[in-house]
Structures are given as C-alpha cells and as structure tokens.
Amino acid sequence: MSTLSELAIAVEAGKRNDAKALTLGLLDDGMQPLDIVEQGLVPGMSAIGEKFKNNEVFVPEMLIAARAMKECMGILEPLLAQAGIKPKYTAVIGTVQGDLHDIGKNLVAMMLKGANFGIVDLGTNVPPEKFVAAIKEHDAHLVCLSALLTTTMPAMKSTVQAVREAGLTSVKIMVGGAPVTQDYSDEIGADGYSPDAASAVDLATKLADSI
Ligand code: B1M
C-alpha cells in the first residue's frame, strides 16, 4: 500500500517514476486527489524548498523535484478538474521588460505551483501592460515580478506603477531577483520582497491570505 509520506520523500528526492507509481497507488487505494496534492506532493516540494533555502541542495535538485511533482500533477490535474477543484489563489508571474533571465523566476513559479497556487506564467521580457492585462483576465490575487539586471529594475518600478494606476487595488505585488532588495521593494511600493524561491511561497501565502 502506498503512503503519503513515501510520496513526499519520492518528490523531494526527484524520483519521478516512484512518485508517479505512488500517486497511482494512492488513487487505487481510494485517496482523494486533493489530499494527495496537499499531503503528499506539497510537503515534498516544501521539504526540498527548505533545503534549498539553507543551501543544503542547489538548483538541479530543485528542478528534478519539480519535474517529479509536475508529472504527478499530470495524473491528478484532470481528476481535480473533473471534481471542479481549483487552486485557492492565482498568481501571475513574469520577468520584467528588457530582462531575459528566467531560471529563478521558473523556480519561484514551480514552488508556488507546488504550494497549490494557480500560475499564469508570462515568461520573460514582459511589458507592464501585459502584466496588467493578465491580472484582469485571470482575476489574479498576486503578481510576481522577477528582475536579474540592475538595468531592468526600473521596469519593475514601472510595472508596479502600471498595476496601481490600473486601479487593481486588491492584487498584491511581490518582487524578487538577485539585485532586488527589501529597500527597493519598499521604494517602488511593492507589497513584499523575498530573497529566494522557498521564502517566496511563505510570502505569497501571507499576502494572498491578507486580501
Ligand atoms: Co546574465 N547576468 N546576462 N545571463 N546571468 C547575470 C545576472 C550577471 C550578474 C552576470 C555577471 O555579470 N556577473 C549580470 C547582471 C549584472 C547586473 O545587472 N548587476 C548579467 C548580465 C550583465 C547579462 C547580460 C547583459 C550579458 C550580456 O549580454 N552582455 C545579458 C542580458 C540579457 C537580458 O536579460 N536582456 C545576460 C544574459 C544571460 C543569459 C541569457 C546568457 C543567461 C540567462 C538564461 C536564462 O535565464 N534562461 C544568463 C545567466 C544564466 C546569468 C547568471 C550566470 C545566472 C543567473 C541565474 O539563473 N541564477 C548570472 C550570474 C550569476 O548569478 N552567477 C547572470 C540562478 C537563479 C536560480 O538565481 O535568478 O537570482 P536567481 O533567482 C533566485 C532569487 O533571486 C529569487 O529566487 C531564485 C531562487 O532562489 N528570485 C525571486 C528570483 N526571482 C524572484 C521573484 C520573486 C521572489 C524571488 O518574487 C516575485
């Protein structure tokens, strides 16, 4: 019989075939898909996220764990959709205009997905108006802006301004990326900054819960 803790361990270790077999086993045992996500997959991703935050593992281990989670979600998502179950919160994410770096942004997106956020990933080099349009279209709770260049940090500021000017008062804006700091986040009027992908999940949850 498969167990949720075995599944969490398989995801954390990035053992995708084991994770998929355990997911199927749990479904066969009659477990609800949402319980498998919340009590098996999410704890596995949280565990690897904590280790990443503490520099105990690095980007490749995170990517391998995220791939295992993604493949399990491929099995579960159709069942969740059939049952009408949607993620509680939706986040729009992208790298700001002029910036093509996406490795960190993708990690943040994967971790948020792992925490059961609905993710609308706009990719890189995203102009402010595209963020605004996506927030409106998806009725997003959060918008997540990433920048890796000092020269694209002003685009982060323009995006915050565009979101505020569009009157999207209930959406929370979080920022991150290597050159970004808490001081910069405060200066441009974002709602929060986080230094890495694991803390981004904590911040996103806190911000979304505060809406
Ligand atoms: Co570029 N690059 N790059 N680069 N690149 C840097 C960032 C740089 C520091 C290298 C250097 O000079 N030492 C430098 C920036 C200097 C500066 O502005 N201070 C630089 C430069 C100058 C450039 C070009 C201008 C080079 C050139 O063409 N002359 C050019 C710019 C292109 C453009 O964007 N318009 C360029 C291009 C590229 C590549 C395309 C070759 C490639 C990007 C590939 C890709 O992303 N698909 C690339 C890479 C790989 C890097 C380095 C080597 C690695 C960046 C990375 O992925 N880190 C980088 C030097 C370095 O860091 N050693 C460098 C790993 C990633 C996991 O970390 O993105 O910081 P990071 O994400 C972290 C956190 O920051 C945080 O969580 C992540 C996980 O913990 N985080 C968030 C990120 N976003 C977040 C959002 C959040 C919260 C947390 O909330 C919303």
Q: Is the pLDDT of residue 1 over 70?
A: no
Q: Which residues are registered as beta bridge partners of 145?
A: 94, 175
For 90-115, the pLDDT digits (tens) are 999 999 999 999 988 988 998 898 88
**Do 6 and 23 contact (CB within 8 A), yes or no?**
no
Helix locations, the chain, DSSP H: 4-12, 16-28, 33-36, 42-53, 59-82, 103-114, 128-138, 153-165, 182-188, 197-209
CATH fold of 89-209: Rossmann fold (3.40.50)
Mutate to test the pocket of ligand 1, among 101, 105, 142, 181 (most ligand atoms within 8 A of CB): 101
CATH architecture of structural domain 4-82? Orthogonal Bundle (1.10)
Nearest to 118 by CA among 87, 84, 72, 93: 87
Whether the domain at 4-82 and the domain at 89-209 fall into the same CATH topology: no
Ligand 1 neighbours (beta carbon < 6 A)? 59, 98-105, 107-108, 144-146, 148-151, 174-179, 194, 196-197, 200
Q: What is the mean pLDDT of the chain?
A: 94
The full set of domain ranges for the chain reads 4-82, 89-209
